[in-house]
Amino acid sequence: MRFYDGAGFLARTSAGVRSAKEQDGATVCIEPETSTGFAVVDYFRRNGMRFSPVVMGDVSGVREAFLGGAATPTGATFRSS
């Protein structure tokens, strides 16, 4: 049985990302000990990809990191280059 919780990845348009599988080596904002955070870790592991987690304490920190261009919302990712 598979359970889909609706988690997804958000990418800035300027990053030119078309698929989450293009994100090997990406920086990803996650909230620790959440189902979304676990889903992100599992996604990268299952697809043989690596990522740099940026652990945020709460949603407001995640939002500020995204708006400032340093990282993205929980369970979301982008490549800044």
Q: Provide the CATH number for the domain around residue 18.
A: 3.40.190.10
Residue in this structure with the two tokens 């990803």, named with its chain if needed: 28
Residue in this structure with the two tokens 């997804």, named with its chain if needed: 8
Find the helix or strand (DSSP H, E) in which 52 lies.
strand 51-55
By DSSP bridging, strand 26-30 and strand 76-78 are antiparallel
The pLDDT confidence band at residue 5, using thresholds 50, 70 and 90, is low
For the chain, how many structural domains are there in total? 1
**Contact of 10 with 77, CB cutoff 8 Å:** yes
64: in domain: yes
Task: Tell whether pTM > 0.85.
Answer: no
5: in domain: no
pLDDT digits (tens, 9 = 90+) for 11-64: 777 778 888 888 888 888 887 788 888 888 899 999 999 998 888 877 777 777
The pLDDT confidence band at residue 3, using thresholds 50, 70 and 90, is low
Does residue 7 come out as left (phi exceeding 0), alpha (psi in the -120 to 50 range) or beta?
A: beta
Q: Which structural domain range is residue 24 located in? A: 13-78
52: in domain: yes
The most confident of the ranges 15-19, 65-69, 76-80 is: 15-19
pLDDT exceeds cutoff 90 at 67: no
